[in-house]
Amino acid sequence: MKTPAITPLKCAICANPWTNEAEMRCAMVKVQTDHYELNVSLMVDEVAVLQGEAPEVRTSRGSLRLGRCAGSAVFWCVEDESLTLLIGQDEDAWSVIFELPPPALEQIRQALRGLSPWLAGLSLPQGYLGHVPEDYAQVAVE
């Protein structure tokens, strides 16, 4: 799917532990710019897809439908090395679009690796910073 020509946002990315309404552990991916903040809630199985640890199920237009933002679905598209996030009802009737720079997907994956123990049911380490995988360096994953 070809998206409108827009300039990628300069952004900072982190992932934080999140518990959804059903008390299930999730990851909250946060993308911050000078003007906007985007928060995408991902379930454990969706994190596994982004990490390449679970099979992908692509939509008919080729994007991945993973996570929720402000109650809407999030569609992940990689095109010309940029990551585009479409937020809305579907890929045709989206309400908001964010185009992120080429390293954004790998930055998101790295931030999510830091949450692996949390998503596996372990406690957060003391002093967890929310975005640095090394925060878990002393935590054993069983």
pLDDT digits (tens, 9 = 90+) for 97-137: 988 887 899 999 999 998 888 899 988 766 666 544 444 44
Domain extent for 94 = 12-122
Both tokens of 127, joined, read 């002093």
Q: Band the pLDDT of 81: cuts 50, 70, 90.
A: confident
The length of the chain in residues reads 142
Considering the domain boundaries, does residue 7 fall inside one? Answer: no
The reply to whether 98 falls in a domain is: yes
Using the CB atoms, write b or e for 94-117: b if 16+ within 10 Å.
beeebbbeeebbebbebbbebbbb
Structure token digits, residue 71: 């109650």
Q: Residue 105 and residue 130: Cα distance in Å, rounded? A: 17
* Domain-embedded: residue 139: no
How many domains in the chain? Answer: 1
Residue 140 in domain: no
Provide the whole-model pTM: 0.81
Assess if residue 41 is contained within a domain: yes
pLDDT at 65 over 70: yes
